[in-house]
Structure 1
Amino acid sequence: MTPGARLQTAIELLGEIGEGHGAADDVVGGYFRRHRFVGAKDRAAISEHIYAILRHRAVIDWWIRRLNGNRQPDARLRLFATLVLVEGWEPEAVARACDGDRFRPNPLGILEQQVVRDLKGKSLMHPEMPRPVRLNYPDWLDAHWQELFGDQVDAELGVMTDTAPLDLRVNRLKANRSDARTALADEGVEAQPTPLAPTGLRIYKRIPLATLDVFKSGRIEVQDEGSQLAALLALAKPGMRVVDFCAGAGGKTLALAAGMQNKGHLVACDISEKRLERAVVRLRRAGISNVERKPLTSERDKWVKRHAESFDRVFVDAPCTGTGTWRRNPDAKWRLKPLDLEELTALQASILDSTARLVKPGGRLVYATCSMLPAENDGQIRNFLTSHPAFALVPMSEVWRDAIGTACPVATDTLQLTPKRHGTDGFFVAVMERKAAAPAETMPETAPEAASEAEVDAAADVHKVDAA
Structure 2
Amino acid sequence: MAKSNPRALAVTILEKVARQGSYSNLTLDATLRKADLSVRDAHLLTTIVYGVIQRRLTLDYDLAPFVGKRQLDPWVRILLQTAVYQMVYLDKVPTRAIFYETTEIAKQKGHAGIAKFVTAILRQIQRVGLPSVETLADPLERLSIASSTPVWLVEKLVTQLGEAKAASILAVINQPASASLRVNTTKITAAALLTQLQAQFAEMTPSAIAADGLVAPGGHLAGTAQFAAGLYTLQDESSMLVAPSMELTPEMQVLDACAAPGGKTTHIAQMLDPQVGGKVTALDLHPHKVKLIAENAARLDLADRVDAYAMDARDAADQFAPQSFDRVLVDAPCSGLGLMRRKPEIKYEKQPADLTNLPQIQLAILNSVAGLVKINGRLTYSTCTIVREENQAVIDAFLAAHPEFIQIKTPTAQPLAKAHGELALQLYPDDYGTDGFFIAALQRRA
TM-score between the two structures when normalised by the length of structure 1: 0.85
Instruction: Report SS of the residue matched to 1:242.
Output: strand
Q: Tell me the residue number matched to 1:362.
A: 376
Q: Indicate yes or no: 2:410 matched with 1:410.
A: no
The offset of 1:210, in angstroms, is 3.1
Q: C-alpha offsets along residues 40-76 of structure 1, whole Å, 9 cap, x if unaligned?
A: 3332221111111011111101111233331467322
Q: Tell me the residue number matched to 2:56.
A: 57
Q: Indicate yes or no: 2:440 matched with 1:430.
A: yes
Query: Max radius of gyration: which structure?
Result: 1
The offset of 1:125, in angstroms, is 5.3
Q: Tell me the residue number matched to 1:45.
A: 44
What is the letter of the counterpart of residue 173 of structure 2?
M
The offset of 1:145, in angstroms, is 0.1
Q: Tell me the residue number matched to 1:452.
A: none
Q: How does 1:48-127 map to 2 (within 5 A)?
A: 48-71=47-70, 74-88=77-91, 92-97=96-101, 98-99=103-104, 108-120=114-126, 122=129, 126-127=133-134
The offset of 1:311, in angstroms, is 0.7
Q: How does 1:370-409 map to 2 (within 5 A)?
A: 370-396=384-410, 399-400=411-412, 404-406=413-415, 409=418
What is the letter of the counterpart of residue 223 of structure 1?
Q
Q: C-alpha offsets along residues 218-274 of structure 1, whole Å, 9 cap, x if unaligned?
A: 111111110001222122221101011111111111111112245512101000110
Q: Tell me the residue number matched to 1:446.
A: none
Change (3 A) 1:203 1:103: farther
What is the letter of the counterpart of residue 439 of structure 2?
V
Mapped partners of 1:293, 1:40: distance in 2? 38
| Alpha carbons 2:235, 2:263 under 8 Å: kept | yes
Moved more, 99-108 or 110-119: 99-108
Q: Tell me the residue number matched to 2:139.
A: none
Moved more, 117-126 or 197-206: 117-126
Mapped partners of 1:37, 1:324: distance in 2? 34
Q: Tell me the residue number matched to 1:440.
A: none
Q: Tell me the residue number matched to 1:165.
A: 178
Task: Choose the corresponding residue for 1:141, options 133, 147, 153.
Answer: 153
| Alpha carbons 1:173, 1:261 under 8 Å: kept | no
Q: Which residues of structure 1 form unaligned runs of 5+?
A: 438-468
Q: C-alpha offsets along residues 288-310 of structure 1, whole Å, 9 cap, x if unaligned?
A: 021001111x3322654533221
Change (3 A) 1:405 1:75: closer
What is the letter of the counterpart of residue 23 of structure 1?
Y
Pairs aligned (count):
428
What is the letter of the counterpart of residue 43 of structure 1?
A
The offset of 1:2, in angstroms, is 8.9
What is the letter of the counterpart of residue 218 of structure 1?
G
The offset of 1:343, in angstroms, is 1.9
| Alpha carbons 1:4, 1:103 under 8 Å: kept | no
The offset of 1:92, in angstroms, is 4.1
The offset of 1:19, in angstroms, is 1.5
Mapped partners of 1:319, 1:313: distance in 2? 19
Q: Tell me the residue number matched to 1:155.
A: 168
| Alpha carbons 2:3, 2:9 under 8 Å: kept | no
| Alpha carbons 2:150, 2:348 under 8 Å: kept | yes
Q: Indicate yes or no: 2:365 matched with 1:339.
A: no
| Alpha carbons 2:384, 2:435 under 8 Å: kept | yes
Q: How does 1:158-307 map to 2 (within 5 A)?
A: 158-187=171-200, 189-206=202-219, 208-262=220-274, 264-288=278-302, 289-296=304-311, 298-301=312-315, 304=318, 306-307=320-321
Change (3 A) 1:67 1:323: same
Instruction: Report SS of the residue matched to 2:162.
Output: helix
Change (3 A) 1:161 1:106: farther
Instruction: Report SS of the residue matched to 1:269.
Output: strand
Change (3 A) 1:100 1:12: closer
Instruction: Report SS of the residue matched to 2:119.
Output: helix
| Alpha carbons 1:60, 1:78 under 8 Å: kept | yes
What is the letter of the counterpart of residue 14 of structure 2?
L
